[in-house]
Amino acid sequence: MTMLGNLRKTVHVWTGLVLVAAILAGCSCPTGSGRVAMTGPAPARKNYGLETRADPKPAPAPRPVLKPVVKAAPAPKPTPTPAPKPAPRKPAPCPTRNCTGMEAPVLLDNGLFSVCKAVPTGDLETSILLIERFYPQEIRPGEVMEYMIRVTNLTTRPINNISLTERVPAGFNWTESIPPDERLDPNTGRWFIAELNGRDNRLFKVRGTATATGSLEPCAGIAFVDELCHTMVVVQPKLQLTKTGPAEVMVNEAIPFRLVVSNVGEGIARNVQVADTLPPGLTAVGGDRTFMFDAGDLAQGQSREFSLTAQAAQPGSYVNTAAARGDGGLLAEASATVIVRKPVLTITKTGSKQGYLGRPVTYNIKVSNQGDAVARNVVLTDPIPSGSSFDSASDGGVSGDGRVMWRLGDLGPGADKDVQVRLIATAIGTITNQATATATAAEPVSASAQTPIMGIPGVLLEVADVGDPVEVGNDEVYMIVVTNQGSAMATNIAIVCRLEENMSFVSVSGPTQAESDGSTIRLTPLATLAAKSKATWQVRVKAVKPGDVRFHVSLTSDQLQRPVDETESTHVY
């Protein structure tokens, strides 16, 4: 009782010694078809710390007393003359070992004998595990036989790490076990049950053959571990301090610092204080240079924030270091560096060397900070000059009130920003484009660029047949259309047409005449073609031979550096 009543003590009971003759151990095992089960309410049990019950259970119903089947003693060894088959041997007496209700093996309805033992006390009401064995009445040498071992958890809570061993005697050849065992030696096997839930059971089978007549006494041993643990928490608080501020400011500009102290460890960091002494050259508003902040106790994961504002009268680089301390030697430090400088802006602007009427003109603008301070709130403006209209701007440039504006944000020392603006030339002449950049605490700067605007012709050549397909002997007409899509007059427009052998020249109608040498047709050059105007010619030819025919047209003018070629296909059948 004392051994099992304390949950804090590891229970490790080996019953191998008392189960050497396990088949002789007896306790209450009801009859059935080879399966022994706990039926009805669980029997009242003495509590050895292995289970607790929330509510009292009713007293168990009286257990039926099963009469053991006593078999006749074995017949005397037969004489050499034939003799009747001997009667089954009577099982050996079974010590009760404080088990109630049985003193000998029980013959079940299925013809198997059954013995059992309650571990560790031998009493179902006070034990933890029940071991049962099921075996045939008799076996013969050489015949494959099977017997079973069942382990039942008599408690209402899981039992872990149960080790069941089975030792077979000499004279029995162990061939197989279900589930497979861990064979320790030819006559000993072991099964391991990681967890057996309350009132649950496990069944194990052993198969083999007897090698000779006589008695076989396999024995099972069982051991289990019951543990009770407690937890002790080992904690280590840890301080973390962060300090942030602007990277750069101008002389006499406010410098806000933010300090955050945190407990990033485990447990409580107690009596935390943060000290911050400004370096020479930095003073707080009011002239103070030393600050002390009380953060108190910080729970795990907790943070507290403090702030102060300083300023510098002279440019330079200033390193401001703060420290956080707590009980137990806790320490964390953090620094913030601020540079006090002055910005200097520069600007450059370049544009197209020449523009054309109605066509885009692009300007590139570059703003740089060549000073030793951040240029803050940089704004670039570019008025739209007369003779042009706004088309587009890069980098978020916005057009309005006759100008284009970019808000470039902050530019650090040595930094620059490139943007583009594209205008459309609306008049022939010269565009003068000037841009200006401004920033906080910086002098404004400007730059301009000029672009001459000219007109330019844009010649479009189109060729199409009218009657495709065309039958041999009939005429085909090709329409040649020249359009000046540009902004200036096109001059000296000359057209040459080339025929394949499937066609022969007939005539030309249009703004100019033509002459032909058979396969080549030359149109008299058109002196001028105004902007947005077009000229049309009709070239008539005769189909003389079937085939897949090509009509080639080539155009030149004073404004073109190379010919414009077009080809039209015609099917002649």
Give yes or no: residues 215 and 244 share one domain.
Answer: no
Give yes or no: residues 89 and 42 share one domain.
Answer: yes
- Of the three residues 454, 471, 504, the one that is the final residue of a domain is 454
Better-scored residue on pLDDT, 1 or 81: 81
* 233 occurs within a structural domain: no
- Mean predicted confidence (pLDDT) in 376-405: 95
* pLDDT confidence bin for 417, thresholds 50/70/90: very high
Q: pLDDT value at position 243?
A: 95
* 232 occurs within a structural domain: no
Asked whether 171 and 211 are in contact (CB, 8 A), the reply is: yes
51-72: pLDDT as tens digits: 333 333 334 444 443 334 334 4
The number of beta carbons lying within 10 Å of the beta carbon of residue 315 is: 16
- Mean predicted confidence (pLDDT) in 107-119: 88
Say whether pLDDT at 44 is over 50.
Answer: no
Q: pLDDT value at position 231?
A: 78
- Locate 5 and state its tokens: 């009543």
Give yes or no: residues 497 and 425 share one domain.
Answer: no
Better-scored residue on pLDDT, 106 or 534: 534
Could you tell me where the beta strands, DSSP code E, fall in 211-359? 219-226, 239-244, 248-250, 255-263, 269-277, 282-284, 290-298, 303-312, 316-326, 330-341, 345-351, 355-356
- Residue 14's Cβ-count burial label (10 Å; 0-12, 13-18, 19+) is middle
Q: Which amino acid is at 108?
A: L
* pLDDT confidence bin for 237, thresholds 50/70/90: very high
Give yes or no: residues 449 and 473 share one domain.
Answer: no
* 194 occurs within a structural domain: yes
- Mean predicted confidence (pLDDT) in 245-270: 92
- Mean predicted confidence (pLDDT) in 483-499: 92
Domain at 10, CATH number = 2.60.40.10
In sequence order, the 6+-apart residues with CB closer than 8 A to the CB of 355 are: 361, 425, 431, 451, 452, 453, 454
266-309: pLDDT as tens digits: 999 999 999 999 999 999 877 888 999 999 999 999 999 999 99
Q: pLDDT value at position 92?
A: 33
* pLDDT confidence bin for 100, thresholds 50/70/90: very low
* 231 occurs within a structural domain: no
Place of tokens 């002389």: 251
- Of the three residues 421, 454, 487, the one that is the final residue of a domain is 454
Give yes or no: residues 160 and 13 share one domain.
Answer: yes
- Of the three residues 341, 358, 374, the one that is the final residue of a domain is 341
* Residue (of 154, 153, 149) closest to 165 by Cα position: 149
Q: pLDDT value at position 401?
A: 93
* Residue (of 317, 352, 348, 350) closest to 335 by Cα position: 317
* Domain extent for 164: 2-226
Q: pLDDT value at position 420?
A: 96
Give yes or no: residues 96 and 215 share one domain.
Answer: yes
How many domains would you assign to the chain?
4
Asked whether 462 and 483 are in contact (CB, 8 A), the reply is: yes
Print the SS3 string covering 393-430. Answer: ECCCCEEECCEEEEEEEEECCCCEEEEEEEEEECCCEE
Q: Of all residues in the chain, what percent carry a pLDDT higher than 70?
A: 82
Q: In what order do the strands lie in the sheet with 503-509?
A: 459-465, 475-484, 534-543, 503-509
Give yes or no: residues 131 and 255 share one domain.
Answer: no
Mean pLDDT of the chain: 82
* 161 occurs within a structural domain: yes
Lowest mean pLDDT among 38-47, 334-343, 488-497: 38-47
* 384 occurs within a structural domain: yes
Beta strand 248-250 with 330-341 is parallel
* 234 occurs within a structural domain: no
Give yes or no: residues 76 and 185 share one domain.
Answer: yes
Q: pLDDT value at position 225?
A: 79
Give yes or no: residues 336 and 435 share one domain.
Answer: no
Give yes or no: residues 137 and 280 share one domain.
Answer: no
* 13 occurs within a structural domain: yes
Give yes or no: residues 399 and 259 share one domain.
Answer: no
CA distance 257 to 249: 12
- Mean predicted confidence (pLDDT) in 107-111: 85
421-477: pLDDT as tens digits: 999 999 889 999 999 999 987 889 999 999 999 888 889 999 999 989 999 999 999
* Burial track 61-93 (b if 16+ CB lie within 10 A, e otherwise): eeeeebeebebeeeeeeeeeeeeeeeeeeebee
Better-scored residue on pLDDT, 210 or 31: 210
DSSP 8-state assignment for residue 141: B
Give yes or no: residues 355 and 419 share one domain.
Answer: yes
Q: How far is CA 165 from the centre of its chain?
A: 48
